[in-house]
Amino acid sequence: MAPQLVEFNRVALVPLSLTSLCSCRSHSDFRRSPTSPKLITRSNLHEFRFKLEVISNGRREMLRFPRGVLVKQRRRVITAVARSEQPERIEDTEITDEEVNRGTQLSVEGDLDSEHIQKASQLKKRIVFGLGIGISVGGVVLAGGWVFTVALAAAVFVGAREYFELVRSRGIASGMTPPPRYVSRTCSVICSLMPLLTLYYGNIDVSVTSAAFFVAMALLLQKGNPRFAQLSSTMFGLFYCGYLPCFWVKLRCGLAIPALNTRFVASWPLLLGGPTLWTVGLVATLISISSIIAADTFAFIGGKAFGRTPLTAISPKKTWEGALAGLGGCIATSVLLAKILCWPTSVLSAVAFGFLNFFGSLFGDLTESMIKRDAGVKDSGSLIPGHGGVLDRVDSYIFTGALAYSFVKTLLPLYGI
């Protein structure tokens, strides 16, 4: 008997050996022997409730549907192939191997099309939310002051929560003892207060030292057996999520020297703050953030186009070719903006600033990748659609703020470059 196909809607083909089709809805429905089955088409499949008894590798297996339940679900295909020892032609039901292969190929192509559509949708969502975040961050940076600091504090709080959730994840917690949940939540609040204290007092050292002392005491005096892993992960969280982001406040709001040596600044409208808005801190912050964005963009494009040599085992997708492309894009952006904003005054200073921003962003990205790898997760969170968590978006900026502030505050006056 030639193969017979029973199909409902579009799904992958599954070959079966049909030995019985029974339990019809009414006496007018078919009840035939396996040697002369009736073709069930898409139009009449919903009329039957049945059982399929199949023979696979010499064993008899039964696929049953509950009695009284009609097969009406969409996206379900029942493919039955009836065979006998002496093949005979059944009119209008013969399906060749070529047609079966063609159906399988169409199914695979449909899956590929679905995957492409999903990737395109993900890319579109990523671009839309990326542009929204970029515009919002640009406005916050221009506003400065408490607007900038409060927005940074909110991002720090969410990032700290994601960090401590990573520490408590199965991948990391299986090899160490994570800090108690009340300690991690308290640390998240402390981290979010650090930028506010930095703006208010102009210095964060005493606040960080005091916070670290009280957190250490809470860990040492907890019930049970305190572990060094709890202390080390908590102290690194205070440093990584709280102390380092405070340098962005010191860079943007602390360096209030006017930068009035450019026509662009002199023509800035009074409605948006006028020329006095443009300080060295604002210009340095804009150049640093823009060069980091350029580094990530050029590294992604260069890695996709020319990437062959892996950069490190921490992040297998990063390549030396992509890193070099990111370095070039970062330096080029820094020099271009320095020419437009007339700060820093020398090309050598702009090149050094771009070089510093690139390595700060690269190692910040690798640090977060190491934490996620040990935690066994792909993203630190799911707050931002298409981008993951807050840490996934700001990892390149965590170390860069401290490096940029040190460069502008110490290296430029010291060496005069």
pLDDT of residue 244: 95
Asked if the structure places residue 272 within a domain, the reply is: yes
Tokens 């020297």 correspond to 257
pLDDT given at position 417: 54
Would 109 be classed as within a structural domain? no
If one counts the domains in the chain, the total is 2
**pLDDT tens, the chain, 417 aa long:** 444 444 433 333 334 433 334 333 333 343 444 444 444 444 554 444 444 444 444 454 444 444 444 444 433 434 443 343 344 444 444 555 565 566 556 555 555 566 667 766 776 777 777 788 889 999 999 999 999 999 999 999 999 999 999 998 877 877 778 888 989 999 999 999 999 999 998 888 877 888 899 889 989 888 878 888 889 999 999 999 999 999 999 999 988 887 766 666 777 777 677 777 888 999 999 999 999 999 999 999 999 999 999 999 998 889 999 999 999 999 999 999 999 888 888 899 999 999 999 999 999 999 999 999 888 888 888 777 766 889 998 999 999 999 999 999 988 887 765
CA distance 362 to 295: 9
Residues 296 and 389 placed together within one structural domain of the fold = yes
Does 114 fall in a domain?
Answer: no
Residue 89 belongs to domain spanning: 1-95
Estimate the crossing angle of helix 181-201 against helix 246-254, to 10 degrees.
10
Q: What is the spatial distance between Cα 185 and Cα 192, in angstroms, rounded to a whole number?
A: 11
Residue 415, number of CB atoms within 10 A of its CB: 10
What is the predicted pLDDT for the residue at 29? 42
**CA-closest candidate to residue 143, choices 19, 282, 237, 346:** 282
Domain identity same for 65 and 181: no
Q: In terms of pTM, does the model score above 0.85?
A: no
Q: What is the 3-state secondary structure (H, E, C) of 154-181?
A: HHHHHHHHHHHHHHCCHHHHCCCCCCCH
Co-location of 80 and 148 in the same domain: no
Q: Are residues 34 and 135 in the same domain?
A: no
Residue 328 lies in a domain: yes
Query: What one-letter code names the amino acid at 160?
Result: A
Residues with Cβ within 8 Å of 158's Cβ and at least 6 positions away in sequence, in order, are 381, 383, 389, 390
Per-residue confidence (pLDDT) for residue 413, from 0 to 100: 83
Q: Are residues 365 and 224 in the same domain?
A: yes
- 382 domain-assigned: yes
Phi, psi of 333 (to 5 degrees): -65, -40
Residue 85 lies in a domain: yes
CA distance 105 to 399: 50
Q: Give me the count of residues in the chain.
A: 417
CA distance 239 to 187: 11
Q: What is the pLDDT of residue 258?
A: 79
Residue 288 sits in the same domain as residue 385: yes
Do 144 and 83 have their domain in common? no
**One domain, residues 189 and 90:** no
